[in-house]
Amino acid sequence: MNCPPSGAATPAPVTLVGCGPGAADLLTLRALRAIEAADALVYDNLIGDDVLHFARADAERIYVGKRASRHTLPQEEINALLVRLAREGKRTARLKGGDPFIFGRGGEEMDALRAAGIAVDIIPGVTAAAACAAAAGIPLTHRDEARSLVLTTGHGKPGAQEPDWAALARPGQTIAFYMGVANAGEIARELLAHGMAGSMPVAIIERGATPAQRIHAATLATLTARIAERAIKAPALLLVGEVAARAADTGASDTATSPAA
């Protein structure tokens, strides 16, 4: 058992908090309590002021957001920051959009903290696939159309293994592509090349389950054109599958406001 040096303060625990898709009223009670109790909050791009509003006035706020190849801090430095705050005795809430363990790098941060001898608590959050689909009225599974659900990323780590496109193109499932807008062209080409029909419905959901939500209906064949004509920006989720035909297109509305890139 590793013990801190004599005279050293015991590190405070770090809580990895899933904050859901961005709307404050989709926070869990556990997430709310962790935010209220934190001495320091380390938060991502998807955490808005309505969530940060619940923090104490004297709590330290540190932004470490990531947007398509633009990172405030590299992941290794975020890990080191969390370790430092814990060793300073600060109860730290690491706020993440969605769920910490679904494309949130929560596993990497947990590993780094545990390796440093720091206790970690995990608070699950409503992940984007569930939140965006529900807000858009799209069932991710359906007995007649989708017997399985695949969560995958449209933006892999440099040098990572290619997705199993043949498996993704199988019928009878729904595919949720996180961070897929930038690589939508490749996603469409590969699925078409592996046998998926160009008429397969696709729903593109920007800022899902928030007041800024826009829903765009497309097909695999029209996906890239729709993204271009609507100037669709991240954060957005791509849902591919027969269930996506239920998407009610709201993106062309004159009152819709495109979120900032």
Report the share of the chain in percent with pLDDT over 90: 82
For residue range 178-193, list pLDDT tens digits in order. Answer: 999 999 999 999 999 9
**Domain 14-123: CATH superfamily, name plus number:** Tetrapyrrole methylase, N-terminal domain (3.40.1010.10)
- Nearest residue to 218 (alpha-carbon basis) of 235, 232, 234, 233: 232
Q: What is the model's pLDDT at position 236?
A: 95
**Residue 148 backbone phi and psi in degrees, to 5:** -145, 160
| pLDDT band per the 50, 70, 90 thresholds, residue 261 | very low
Tell whether the model's pLDDT for residue 232 goes beyond 50: yes
- The domain ranges of the chain are 14-123, 128-246
| pLDDT band per the 50, 70, 90 thresholds, residue 231 | very high
The letter for the amino acid at 208 is G
Give the β-pairing of 120-123 and 40-43.
unpaired
- Nearest residue to 249 (alpha-carbon basis) of 97, 181, 232, 21: 232
Residue 39: exposure state from Cβ atoms within 10 A (0-12, 13-18, ≥19): middle
Q: What is the model's pLDDT at position 259?
A: 34
Report the pLDDT averaged over residues 196-216. 96
What pTM does this model have? Answer: 0.87
Instruction: List the catalytic residues.
Output: 44, 66
Q: What is the model's pLDDT at position 154?
A: 84
Same fold: 14-123 with 128-246 = no
Please tell us whether the domain made up of 128-246 is placed in CATH 3.30.950.10: yes
Check if the beta carbon of residue 237 is closer than 8 Å to that of residue 216: no
Q: Which one is predicted more confidently, 2 or 123?
A: 123
Q: What is the model's pLDDT at position 252?
A: 65
| Average pLDDT value over all residues in the chain | 90
| pLDDT band per the 50, 70, 90 thresholds, residue 33 | very high
| pLDDT band per the 50, 70, 90 thresholds, residue 5 | very low
Q: What is the model's pLDDT at position 162?
A: 86
